[in-house]
Structure 1
Amino acid sequence: MARSTSGESVLTRTMRILRTFNTTPTTLSVSEIARRADLPIATAHRLVGELVDLGALERESDKRVRIGYQLWETASRSSPARDLSRTALPYMEDLQAVVREHTQIGVLEGTDVLYLERLSDRGAGRNVAEIAGRLPIHATSSGLVLLAHSSPEFQEEVLQQPLRRYTAHTVTDPGQLRRRLAAVRADGYVIAPQMITLGAVGLAAPVRDRDNRVVAALSVVVPADGRGSPHMHAPALVAASRGVSRAMGARVPGGNTIRTRGAKPSH
């Protein structure tokens, strides 16, 4: 496989181009792709052209480029996310009928939460999570669940990094986060008020596979406007997460009995 003067293969440079579409906007110019991928403009132009010819990317009338249907089709057909989403969706629909705000499921990808599905009611409150979008693991309810059930080595790796504070409620102190993660494991769910978005409270619970590994987090996002305690949604959320887990072959208790700490989180 041909390599550049920097020693990178064509495949490596191509993947860097595709990863530039991980963030908004969904269409990019070739110069924007070159800058984001840290490639010479001539190299980016050549590789983008080949990807367009192959159907992996599509060029719009204004010459901007977006992910092509052929790449989306190939990824969707073989992605493990498809099976998880298909299993979770019926339980998400039941949960959404109760919450009537936002219901979503996410998995760990690097040090981010990658969201696979999201259901939202018309007129629902604020929520920055998007399907195929990423949010930081330390600042979201789903992320706290996934981090709490990851290996101690990975937890320490995350906690030793500089953690961005998104709002005044974002927990960035390692000691405080360790205590929060221990509470998540003890309670079986987490409530994260306004950690990444003011005006929104996230609740999340773990989803397990047949080997009892936590492979995803089911979450809801509700307004932090005093219309009711977020705690009232916890039983339905935990029951739904256990339903998804059982459908995936995990042995989890039935019902929706959960441990609560009683205190209403500050908004």
Structure 2
Amino acid sequence: MAGGGGGDSAASGKEAPTVATRLFRILDAFSPERPALTLSAISRHSGLALTTTHRLVGELAGWGALERDSEGKYRIGLRMYELAALAPRGILLREVAMPFLGDLYEATHQNVQLGVLDGLDVVFVERLSGREAVQVVSRVGGRLPLHTTGVGLVLLAHADQAVQEAVLEAPLKRFTHKTISTSQQLRRALAEVRRNGFAISDGQIELTNLSVAAPVHDETDTVIAALSVVVPSQGSDPRTLIPAVRAAARGISRALGSPRALALPASARREAAAPTSPGSPATRRIAE
């Protein structure tokens, strides 16, 4: 019996997991709710035999993927952070986006988030928040179902058809009575996002919050990310936030070389073609 028993063998005629699969199981045992684990806990959550876990955890710790603290528990090591920094949809995207996220934060002093698509979830790669900002459940590196957030709705609306259908056919997790919970509701919401160019998510995860999100395009005009601002539902008019959110998303897209972001809107081109004086309203609008 390979691996010394437990959940890592071919005891029932199934092919034994590869070494890589076992390593991934160990790393996957850690989560925001379980940031530090004993050896036995890693064995239990990974489904691997304790002897196998002991050997592989030792190798991961030796390489730097895991670290052992003073209590004898293991945590994710800095070597994993170094690898994550190489992800183009993570650190590099954040570097381009940060000035625009900062501007949006200064304009609102609320939560500003940047997320990317990963499987059937949105993963948040950056978040700016102040002490007076409304509390949110999202965090950098965390993930949420696509249908429950403004960022997620934007990403899903522009995702491949296969991804959209996978989400539409799966059970839709519900957080509040306002959470989109049927495929019909979700199809309508996605159509609105594509038509309007932004998403508004009100009270889907927490009734106290609403978000406004817009897409970020790359040099091929593919939507590779989305940004949002999250504000208190009470007393907030999402329509007043749309221009600032779309402007920030357009700025990031322009910095990434998006042709549609680099091109002036049709209305601006018409104004530019008209003879105007330097101080005319049309000239001022183009400058803005």
Query: Is TM > 0.5 for Structure 1 vs Structure 2?
Result: yes
Counterpart check, 1:5 vs 2:9: yes
3-state DSSP class of the match of 2:125? strand
- In structure 1, the residue matched to 2:62 is 53
Answer yes or no: is the 8 Å Cα contact 2:109–2:132 preserved in 1.
no
Answer yes or no: is the 8 Å Cα contact 1:22–1:133 preserved in 2.
no
**Count of residue correspondences:** 253
Task: Give the alignment partner of residue 157 of structure 1, picking from 146, 166, 187.
Answer: 166
TM-score of the superposition, structure 1-length normalised? 0.90
Q: Which is bigger in relative contact order (C-alpha 8 A, separation at least 6)?
A: 1
3-state DSSP class of the match of 2:106? helix
3-state DSSP class of the match of 2:26? helix
Counterpart check, 1:15 vs 2:24: yes
- In structure 2, the residue matched to 1:68 is 77
Single out whichever of 78-87 and 91-100 deviates more from structure 2: 78-87
- Measured after TM superposition, the shift of residue 184 of structure 1 is 0.2
Between structure 1 and structure 2, the one with the greater Rg is: 2
- In structure 2, the residue matched to 1:260 is none
- In structure 1, the residue matched to 2:193 is 184
Answer yes or no: is the 8 Å Cα contact 2:40–2:50 preserved in 1.
yes
Answer yes or no: is the 8 Å Cα contact 1:105–1:115 preserved in 2.
yes
Single out whichever of 37-46 and 146-155 deviates more from structure 2: 37-46
Deviation per residue, 1:19-59 (Å, 9 max, x gap): 22243232222233223222223322221122112211001
For structure 2, the 5+ residue unaligned runs are 11-15, 268-288
CA distance in structure 1 between the partners assigned to 2:72 and 2:186 by the alignment:
46
When the two chains are superposed, the root-mean-square deviation of aligned CA atoms in Å is 1.7
What does 1:1-267 correspond to in 2, within 5 Å? 5-6=9-10, 7-76=16-85, 78-80=86-88, 81-226=90-235, 228-251=236-259, 252=261, 254=264
- In structure 2, the residue matched to 1:261 is none
- Measured after TM superposition, the shift of residue 144 of structure 1 is 0.5
Single out whichever of 64-73 and 166-175 deviates more from structure 2: 64-73
Answer yes or no: is the 8 Å Cα contact 2:111–2:130 preserved in 1.
yes
Answer yes or no: is the 8 Å Cα contact 1:242–1:254 preserved in 2.
no
- Measured after TM superposition, the shift of residue 254 of structure 1 is 4.9
3-state DSSP class of the match of 1:203? strand
